[in-house]
Structure 1
Amino acid sequence: MQVLSTLLAVEKSDKLPVYLQIANQLTSLIKAGTLAPGFRLLSTRQLAAALNVHRRTVVQAYDELLAQGWLESHTGNGTFVANHLPEVGPVPMVPSGQASDQTLKKAGFQFERLVHLNRPVLKSGTRLHLDDGFPDPRLAPLEELSRAYRSQLLHGNPYMRLGYGDTKGASWLRQELAIHLNETRGLKISADNILIVRGVIMGMHLASTALLRPGDRVAVDSPGWFGANMNFVQAGAEVINLPVDEHGLIIDELEKLCEKEPIRMLYVTSHHHYPTTVALRADRRIRLLKLSEKYGFVIFEDDYDYDFHYLSKPLLPLAGADQAGMVLYCGSFTKTISPAFRIGYLIGPEDFISQLALLRRIIDRQGDQMLENAMAELLQTGVIQRHLRKSVRVYKQRRDFFCDLLKTKLEGKVNFHIPDGGMSVWTKFDDHIDLKKLAANALKHDLYMADGSLTQLADGSRNSVRLGFASSTLEELEESVNIIKDLL
């Protein structure tokens, strides 16, 4: 029986109470078959002496396991491993913690590793960044948002405020969003046309789940957003790439495709094409809507950074000219405030939005009602609108400065067009430059930039990346470009 004390070890400096350490270790020994049913344990006095702990600590551990049914006590005879437990063959002894480490690292069951999900996760981990086109959170109205959020936590009926809400999203936010989107994007929607989601990717996942079946065809522009394609492949759809030129998606190619085979959905970033930033020309927009109505395919319009346009007024979304109810329009506050604030919106016909609200319940009952209502307050009081006007001025200055840096410091190494809007510059590096090596070396200098691996052109060529300018100050942009210049 003295062997038992050698199998147990306690760490008095550990945050877990000692009695629970003892109880957990005894449970593990029983599960492993090391302590068989009917095994007699040391007395509380003996085990306490062996472990150099107070007897009451061992009594607590035994009482815990007696209550859970792992042990049983025979008055006057001692404490035993419960006889009703199934017999488990003893397993080879391994150093403490090693077995549990292995089971945490490698599953004991088989599962399929889905190749289409292999996409690097972007994280904010460097001091300098020419990112995918993110906003600068230093400009965000965080104080106003903080006050509005605190107000939502403290005021009003707590049962309603902190309870379950509408799966479509906070009613107040949907009402304010309808007003805002109608005024800024020429839409004619009501709150019933809006589903609040965590971001564009969630809206796309819901739409793909609801609309796509294995074998359906989804047309996407190429180069395009890998994150969108992941959802379509996950739904079992066949993804068909369509080329893009300086005026956006080539509609003639789409029409040829529709004449040959049916498609279920078209994914398009019409305002600032991802990744090249070009806008879909007006005549192509008209043809696209007519083709959708004629051939019956859904248009998923991802308008990820509509508010940031620097040349005259931005083109209005396809959704505003949709006369047949074929367009789903999706956007978010990710580019308005910061990626950390997960509020997006999916716009569509009322009946379909109601169906998506039912679907949303099985993956995410509702969003953050406090944050949604706080955002509604900022929309109602004009804080968001003022922030957008300020951000557009700042980002335009940064765009101009950054493009001038690329032209003067990287002359002959890069080719680009100054974007009319958005938060990044689609930049083609000289074919002799190894982008993966450049990105890896930049990272050693605390500068993040993409390596081009996720942006391949329809003709198979690459060496182009999005270089985000909005999230960096003028000084940070100059330092970043100087690092690239030195590395080249």
Structure 2
Amino acid sequence: MSLPFKTLIKIERGNHLPMYVQIANELIKLIRGGKLTPGAFLPGTREMADLLAIHRKTIINAYEDLSVQGWIESLPRKGYRVVSDLPVIKPRSFQPKNNYPATSISPEELLHLPAFTRPGMVNDYQPGALIVDDGFPDINLTPYDFFLQQYRQQLNSGILYTLNFQKEEGGLLSLRTATSSFLNQTRGLNITHEQVAITRGAQMAIYLAAALLIKPGDRIIVSEPSYFMANQIFQQLGAVIHRVPVDEEGMDTNALEELLKTGTFKLIYVIPHHHHPTTVTMSTARRIQLLTLIKEYQLWAIEDDYDYDFHYRNSPILPLASADHDGRILYIGSYTKLLGPSFRIGYLVAGVQIIEQAIRYRRLMDIRGDFMMESALAALIDNGELSRHINRSKKIYAARLDKTTELLTSSNIPVSFHKPQGGMALWLRFDPQYPLANLLTNASANNLHLYGTAYFEGYNTNYNSLRFGFASLQEQQMEQAVSILAASLKKK
């Protein structure tokens, strides 16, 4: 029995969105809501055009858009049907949903970070230079047209005058609300805008969370290796850092438990989904053990949810923050990894009192964010364009991951790596007889700039390892990069 599409599909002819996009959005809602089930056929393009009283070309464009996003598929001589493996990720939960009880916390003073340099870094690039980054998105896929449209509307409507007098230091209410809805739908959180603070990227969110929790002399725990810029923050705040090793299942929670038995610790910093720098995903068993230890030892935890939306092999495990944790997990994420490095917008999720303190502390360094960008981003989320962008990008990045691993494997480069479940980078471990410092310098001389996080030696380990971003390079560029990489390897 056919659905009453004429009634179910709402089209606003005065809407700024093209009609085919509105139709595609309405059909996605029907699929998400279960009215259109996997395997169900849609009316033919002529029939649907007649039902909605619009041009057939509009329906064709809507169906093609849905097909590109992976919601429907075209069967020769049969028509369009909803795919059985929907692009909607249904994460696997391992704990009940969270809550964030009120917690009293006071901010600390702002501190400074030291400068950072490394072998092979240059300021001026030669024509045709190739840059392999730390794992950033391809800005060619970013929906810039949508942002330009939103900016133009803001400039023409006079809303900028209103925004000038906004005092929403924790971010525009529209973006805080859109972010809470986005996280509830995709991460299994159970939050409102009051538990969200908007920041200028995840880096600011890490700093705010750490500054609120750490006092000089506090003992904290990080993985080894770990995100080095977070470690610099902890050191500058006066923390005493203890390290727990990482293997193919993420942080070793048995080693963590043994460490916790040795004394009192204030905080643990974890990157469970796509660990930085190693890209490994923490197993479900270890996540459960980690949650148990957080409760048992009354630890604060900063969960850096790195690259959550780009998971390729299977459904991602929900964040630790989606579990019952008595409000002791501060959750951090970023839109930068979805849209590009120029979109410096992140978020911090925590209990209301912590968020209030974080906003006051942020005010010391940045009174408010970029309201024009925040307003445009809120619209991007609300109308479904961000979800469309994620679905499109995920297909492309998965193919680029496959191609990059294929190139590295067939090149006979003396390097080892595991193929990650998601993210936008590989963790390459080079044979010690090929020093990484030499490789970076040689590659730069050959017009290949390897700007992924590099680990040389430390803590009784010769890492000789590098993050190798694959998402931002097209196939031909990656072929060239791997070729130069192979030519740049020289023994001691």
Give the TM-score normalised by structure 1: 0.74
Q: CA deviation at 1:348?
A: 0.7
Matched, 1:216 2:233: no
Residue 254 of structure 1: aligned partner: 256
How far apart are 1:453 and its partner, in Å? Answer: 4.8
Contact 2:455–2:464 (Cα < 8 Å) also in 1: no
Q: Which amino acid aligns with 1:435?
A: L
Contact 2:134 2:452 in 1 (8 A): no
- Cα displacement (A) at 1:282: 0.6
Write the distance in 2 (CA, Å) between the matches of 1:365 and 1:123: 34
Residue 483 of structure 1: aligned partner: 484
Instruction: Give 1:149 deviation, angstroms.
Output: 2.2
Report the AA paired with residue 473 of structure 2: S
The one-character-per-residue Cα deviations of 1:331-390 (angstroms, maximum 9, x if unpaired) are 111110111111000011111111111111111101001100100000011111111101
Map Cα deviations across residues 142-191 of structure 1 (whole Å, 9 max, x no partner): 11111112222332544422233311100001111111111111111111
Cα pair 2:154 2:160 within 8 Å, conserved: no
Of the two structures, which has the highest relative contact order with CA contacts closer than 8 Å and spacing of 6 or more?
2
Match of 2:450 in 1: 449
1:51 aligned partner: none
Q: Quote the residue 2:7 is aligned against.
A: none
> What residue number does 1:205 align with?
207
1:117 corresponding residue in structure 2: 114
Matched, 1:317 2:319: yes
What is the match of residue 88 of structure 1? none
In 2: Cα distance, 1:179 partner to 1:278 partner:
28
Provide the residue aligned with 2:348 in structure 1: 346
**4+ residue runs of structure 1 moved beyond 4 angstroms?**
121-126, 450-453, 455-458
Kindly indicate whether the alpha-carbon contact (under 8 Å) linking 2:454 and 2:465 is maintained by their aligned counterparts in 1: no
Q: Which residue of 2 aligns with 1:226?
A: 228
Deviation for aligned residue 1:136: 0.8
Question: What is the match of residue 184 of structure 1?
Answer: 186
**Do the aligned residues in 2 keep the contact of 1:275 with 1:455 (CA within 8 Å)?**
no
Q: What amino acid sits opposite 1:134 in the alignment? A: F
SS in 2 for 1:387: helix
Checking the alignment, whether the CA contact within 8 Å between 1:455 and 1:462 is kept in structure 2 is yes
CA distance in 1, matches of 2:399, 2:244: 34
Describe the shift of the 1:172–1:487 C-alpha distance in structure 2 as closer, same or farther (beyond 3 A).
same
AA paired with 1:341? F
CA distance 1:212–1:229, shift in 2 (3 Å): same
Task: Judge conservation of contact 1:130–1:467 (CA < 8 Å) in 2.
Answer: yes
Rounded to whole Å, the distance in 2 between the matches of 1:305 and 1:283 is 21
Deviation of 1:123 after TM superposition, in Å, equals 8.7
**Which SS does the other structure have where 1:406 is aligned?**
helix
Counterpart secondary structure, 1:149: helix
**Higher mean displacement: 437-446 or 264-273:** 437-446
Aligned to 1:148: 150
Q: Determine helix, strand or coil for the equivalent of 2:331.
A: strand
Contact residue 436 and residue 451 of structure 1 kept, 8 A:
no
- The offset of 1:451, in angstroms, is 8.1
Name the amino acid aligned to 1:329: Y
Displacement of 1:457: 6.2
Aligned equivalent of 1:384, options 375, 383, 386: 386
- Provide the secondary structure at the position in 2 that maps to 1:340: coil
Task: State how far apart, in whole Å, the 2-side matches of 1:189 and 1:347 are.
Answer: 8
What do the CA deviations read for 1:11-51 (whole angstroms, capped 9, x no partner)?
A: xxxxxxxxxxxxxxxxxxxxxxxxxxxxxxxxxxxxxxxxx
Partner of 2:291: 289
Could you tell me which of 387, 397, 408 is aligned with 2:399?
397
**Quick one: which amino acid aligns to residue 186 of structure 1?**
G
Superposition deviation, residue 257 in structure 1: 1.6
Alignment of 1:21-32 (within 5 A): none
**Partner of residue 474, structure 1:** 475
Q: 2: distance between equivalents of 1:263 and 1:125?
A: 45
| Cross-structure match for 2:415 | 414
Q: Which residue of 1 aligns with 2:88?
A: none
**2:286 pairs with 1:270:** no
> Would the aligned equivalents of 1:217 and 1:237 in 2 still touch at CA under 8 Å?
yes
Task: Name the aligned partner's letter for residue 434 of structure 1.
Answer: P
Letter aligned with residue 303 of structure 2: E
Please point out which of 124, 129, 132 is paired with 1:130.
Answer: 132
Superposition pairs of residues 10-21 of structure 1, within 5 angstroms: none
Query: Quick one: which amino acid aligns to residue 339 of structure 1?
Result: P
Give me the whole-angstrom Cα distance separating, in 2, the residues matched to 1:274 and 1:428: 14
Residue 124 of structure 1 and its aligned partner are, at CA, apart by 8.8
1:460 has 2:461 as partner? yes
Deviations 1:275-327 (A, max 9, x none): 11111111111111111111111110111211111011111100001331111
Q: Partner residue of 1:48?
A: none
Mark the runs of 5 or more structure 2 residues left unpaired by the alignment: 1-110
Contact 2:416 2:429 survives alignment (8 Å):
yes
Aligned positions, number: 374
CA shift in 2, pair 1:160/1:115, >3 Å:
closer
The 8 Å contact of residues 334 and 342 in structure 1, kept in 2 or not, is answered as yes
* Aligned position for 2:50: none
Q: How far apart in 1 are the matches of 2:446 and 2:240?
A: 41
Post-superposition offset of 1:118? 3.7
Q: What SS does structure 1 have at the residue aligned with 2:168?
A: coil
Work out whether 1:337 is the aligned partner of 2:321. no
Letter in 1 for 2:476: E
Q: Residues 147 and 455 from structure 1, CA distance in 2 versus in 1: closer, same or farther, beyond 3 angstroms?
A: farther
Secondary structure of residue in 2 paired with 1:463: strand
Change (3 A) 1:424 1:124: farther
8 Å Cα contact 2:132/2:452 also seen in 1: no
Determine which of 169, 174, 177 is the counterpart of 2:171. 169
Contact 1:153/1:370 (<8 A) preserved:
no
Determine the C-alpha separation between the residues in 2 that align with 1:147 and 1:123.
36
Identity %: 40
Q: Contact conserved, 2:251 with 2:282, CA < 8 A, in 1? A: yes
1:312 is aligned with what amino acid? N
* C-alpha distance 479-265 of structure 1, shift in aligned 2 (>3 A): same
2:456 aligned with 1:440: no
- Contact 1:223 1:457 (8 Å CA) reproduced: no
**Deviation of residue 431 (structure 1)?**
1.4
1:280 aligns with one of 282, 286, 290 = 282
Contact map agreement 2:134 2:453 (CA 8 A) in 1: no
